Amino acid sequence: MTRLDRVEQTPGRFAGPPLTPRTAVIWSVLRAELDRRGAAELTVLDVGGGTGGFAVPLAQAGHRVTVVDASPDALAALTRRATEAGVADRVRAVQGDGDALAGLVEPAAADLVLCHAVLEVVDDPAPVVAALTTALRPGGAASVLVAGRAAAVLGRAMNGHLEVAATVATGPAGSAGPRDTLRRRYDADGAAALLTAAGLVVEEIHGVRVLADLLPAAVADGQQGALVELERALAGRPPYRDLAAQLHLFARRPA
Ligand SMILES: C[S@@+](CC[C@H](N)C(=O)[O-])C[C@H]1O[C@@H](n2cnc3c(N)ncnc32)[C@H](O)[C@@H]1O
């Protein structure tokens, strides 16, 4: 049985939100960690958590979540969403920079830190990873989601943009240039090295959206259940994992 199989089959108290092809693999990994922690109310920090797509379901599951985000608009939407879900008392919105976490949250206090789709847009990812590591209590876990480089190369090439594909493939950071919304993209080894350099131990790496972005909408929408299952089945298996639009790394601060 593979590690991912174990994750999928873990029974637990946290059902989580409805699973979509974009989120099913991430929730499977998070659910396994929540189940491992039993009935404990966890202290969760979501760095660049935006409008609360993960923060609000985690609060609904009984945990206390602080979202640090640079955007006041995103935080306003988060607060509305938390209020509508009846968990405003469990969600704290803090405006600030990911690399300035030290001044915003208590060190060594978080059981779980999320940093999803952020490291590819910040000025420098290393200080952000260092700061989120410092925010974790020893033994705490980090859920880090980054943009995958290989998928961007294939996507650009399949749309006929061969020069852009070459730039993404061979440039130092995997960005397509100044007009690219992302400043960098990762392969699994590079992303793991970034976390390891900050003192985290990487436990799992999965691909997220291996197929979801490649299929015609009629297929993706018409067979969503089958697509969720296929995404989960492929997520942990190279070479499929390494072609995913995003890479999800689950890491731990040593106890
Ligand atoms: C692509 S969104 C991801 C939102 C959420 N984590 C998710 O996965 O849905 C990136 C988020 O990071 C925030 N962000 C960008 N740079 C940041 C920084 N330096 N510090 C904190 N948040 C930042 C943005 O405001 C935005 O909400």
pLDDT at position 14 is: 62
Q: For the stretch 168-181, what's the b/e string if a residue is b when 16 or more beta carbons lie within 10 angstroms of its beta carbon?
A: bbeeeebbbeeebe
Is residue 183 predicted with pLDDT exceeding 80? Answer: yes
pLDDT bucket at 188, cuts 50 / 70 / 90? very high
Determine the distance separating the centroid of ligand 1 and the alpha carbon of 50, expressed in angstroms: 5
Considering Cα of 154, then 183, then 78, then 58, what sign does the dihedral take? positive
The pLDDT of 91-119, averaged and rounded, is: 95
The pLDDT of 8-17, averaged and rounded, is: 53
Name the residue at shortest CA distance from atom 4 of ligand 1.
Answer: 50
Is residue 108 predicted with pLDDT exceeding 80? Answer: yes
Q: What is the pLDDT of residues 132-174, one digit of tens each?
A: 999 999 999 999 999 999 999 999 999 999 999 999 999 999 9
CA distance 92 to 1: 39
Of residues 10 and 57, more confidence is placed in 57
pLDDT at position 13 is: 54
N- to C-terminal Cα separation, the chain: 27
Residue percentage of the chain with pLDDT more than 90: 88
pLDDT at position 10 is: 40
Determine the distance separating the centroid of ligand 1 and the alpha carbon of 236, expressed in angstroms: 25
Mean per-residue pLDDT of the chain = 93
Q: In this structure, how many other beta carbons lie within 10 angstroms of the beta carbon of residue 127?
A: 17
In this prediction the pTM is: 0.93
Is residue 220 predicted with pLDDT exceeding 60? Answer: yes
CA angle 29/32/37 to nearest 5° reads: 135
Name the residue at shortest CA distance from atom 8 of ligand 1.
Answer: 116
Q: What is the pLDDT of residues 49-92, one digit of tens each?
A: 999 999 999 999 999 999 999 999 999 999 999 999 999 999 99
Strand partners, 252: 141, 201
User: Could you tell me if the CB of 173 is within 6 A of ligand 1?
Assistant: no
* 158 residue type, one letter: M
Considering Cα of 181, then 130, then 39, then 27, what sign does the dihedral take? positive
